[in-house]
Structure 1
Amino acid sequence: MFKNLSTGAIGIRANMTEGLALAKNSGFEGLDLNIDEANQLAQENSVQHVKDLWSEAGIAMGGWGFGVNWRGPDADYYAGLAQLPERAALAAELGCYRTTTVVGPASNDMTYQENWDFSVKRLRPIAEILKEHGHSIGLEFIGPATSRKGSKFLFAYSMDAMLGLSAAVGTGNVGLLFDTWHWYTCRSTTDDVRKLSVSDVVYVHINDAPAGIDPDDQIDNIRCLPAETGVIPLTELMQILTDLGYEGPVTPEPFSKKVASMEPADAAKATAESLDQVWENAGL
């Protein structure tokens, strides 16, 4: 596992060069890749130029966004799908093989079965293209009960349900974006995580939760930095992921107003220090 920075996840707007500098200077080992910016830089210079930016910074590539609006209208979906082979080929050439997407926990338009069938139908062609280029795709489940409250139809919001959806896609390269926040709020257990195989975990988000609030009452965009409150058992979770053999990015996504209000360098440093504490607690 390596400590990975997503600038947008902590409220920072930065281009690739700025992001690499922030990651390096604050102690991160990795950074998520903006594939569209990488493509522009490759066209203006070369693919090797992009590779050199990362190697000179000594920063690993975390994950990349595949850029297909798979929940949208047919026209948007197929337009994105047509561009995916080029994106996937570039990401592979750069050496970044982990990509992710979010699966909504409820719907007002589709029953559970309709949503399941729709998701499989839309995700399978994406996964097939990604597989051709060596990529894995992590599906993120949304755990908080408050995120599905008021919706007409529930959908897959737990780790087990998302594993089922991954299997239903059936391409062999689909697993989880495992977010400690969503694991906690959907009331999964550490034993559930121990039962995973390393191929089930494509990417990891790490967060803590506000203290004194029941998991069912937690609000999705009100979170804490890793190890800030100790509500989520991050030490045990990181040790389990290590035992599984997970070697990918671990990315904070705290949605913290305090962090978002900081200057970029300070925000990155505070976030990196929270990860350092998790690593120390877990003996990593």
Structure 2
Amino acid sequence: MTATRYSVNCSILLTDLPLAERPAAAKAAGFDGVEFWWPFATSTPAQDEVDAFVRTITDAGVQLTGLNFNAGNMPGGDRGLVSWPARSGEFRDNLDVVTRIGEATGCTGFNALYGNRVEDSTPAAQDDLAAENLALAARAVARIGGTVLVEPVSGTPAYPLKTSADAIAAIDRAGEENIGLLFDVFHLSVNGDDVDAARAAYADRIAHVQIADAPGRDQPGTGDLPIARWVEDLAAGGYDGWIGLEYKPATEQSAADPFAWLPRARRSASN
């Protein structure tokens, strides 16, 4: 069986460091992969900003395993532009720069957060727009062998994709082959989805995995979720991609050593 490959989400972990220093810190901690939410203030950052970001990855000697499309103001409650009529143009403007970053780094997984329901549109109209935008994104990244990821999310009532089945329905409406399910066991569990049943039902649709324990969204072992078993079951079911560590240290002990749960010998993708 292929060894499990873990990547550090540098947008939620190692936040005591400037963003530009986090890939190197992940490497120093023993990891070979990193992933990011959209790291820029706009959909179309200046080329020198893009080049500087790419250098943080390449200079650290890590693989960029995942990158979000611009999702808006995440701290302010935004959860994506894909289905948001007023900001659809920003999403479409984002496609080329995301693809160029993927081409420069070898990244092929791109998370397109669906977007919250908005008062000045209808769910049906938003879903139609999302299908168009997801298809456009899939065609954009197809030229570099990329896959668009669609993710159920918890904690935001206005976000309509709560379960794996919700995400699969959105993927199927878009109708492109290179769109897959982002299987985040924390969000699915918090939303009440049956993680075991979803894994079995959609094993061939899972394109990326992220983990955090619940309650608390801290490192595995701090909550009640059987994460180790789920990771083993995913591998047994054929998943051989990266496992993104997307958790938030909730205690001083966890902040001091956010990777304590994972022996160093298991952190490198080559082990």
Q: What are the Cα deviations for residues 16-35 of structure 1, in whole angstroms up to 9, with x where unaligned?
A: 3x223211222223112577
* Structure 1: gaps spanning 5 or more residues: 211-221
- Match among 189, 202, 206 for residue 207 of structure 2: 202
Shift of 1:60: 2.3
Shift of 1:242: 0.9
- Match among 134, 155, 179 for residue 123 of structure 1: 134
Aligned match of 1:232: 225
- Work out the CA distance in 2 between the residues paired with 1:25 and 1:125: 37
Contact 2:186 2:214 in 1 (8 A): yes
If the length of structure 2 is used for normalisation, what is the TM-score?
A: 0.75
- Work out the CA distance in 2 between the residues paired with 1:241 and 1:23: 24
Contact 2:190 2:214 in 1 (8 A): no
- Work out the CA distance in 2 between the residues paired with 1:20 and 1:255: 17
| Structure richer in helix, relative to its length | 1
CA distance 1:113–1:41, shift in 2 (3 Å): closer
Q: How does 1:1-284 map to 2 (within 5 A)?
A: 1-10=4-13, 12=15, 13-16=17-20, 18-32=21-35, 40=48, 43=51, 52-55=58-61, 59-67=62-70, 69-72=81-84, 74=86, 76-104=87-115, 106-143=117-154, 147-148=156-157, 155-189=160-194, 190-198=196-204, 200-210=205-215, 222-229=216-223, 231-258=224-251, 262=255, 266=256, 270-276=257-263
| RMSD, aligned CA | 3.4
Shift of 1:276: 4.0
| Paired letter, 1:24 | K
Q: How many residues align?
A: 248
Question: Secondary structure in 2 aligned to 1:202?
Answer: strand
Shift of 1:156: 3.0
| Paired letter, 2:230 | L
Larger radius of gyration: 1
- Work out the CA distance in 1 between the residues paired with 2:8 and 2:141: 23
- Report sequence identity in percent: 19
| Paired letter, 2:8 | L
Shift of 1:104: 4.5
* Structure 2: gaps spanning 5 or more residues: 72-80
- Work out the CA distance in 2 between the residues paired with 1:237 and 1:169: 28
Shift of 1:206: 0.6
CA distance 1:66–1:104, shift in 2 (3 Å): closer
Q: What are the Cα deviations for residues 8-65 of structure 1, in whole angstroms up to 9, with x where unaligned?
A: 213614333x223211222223112577699537757xx8x6775243xxx2222122
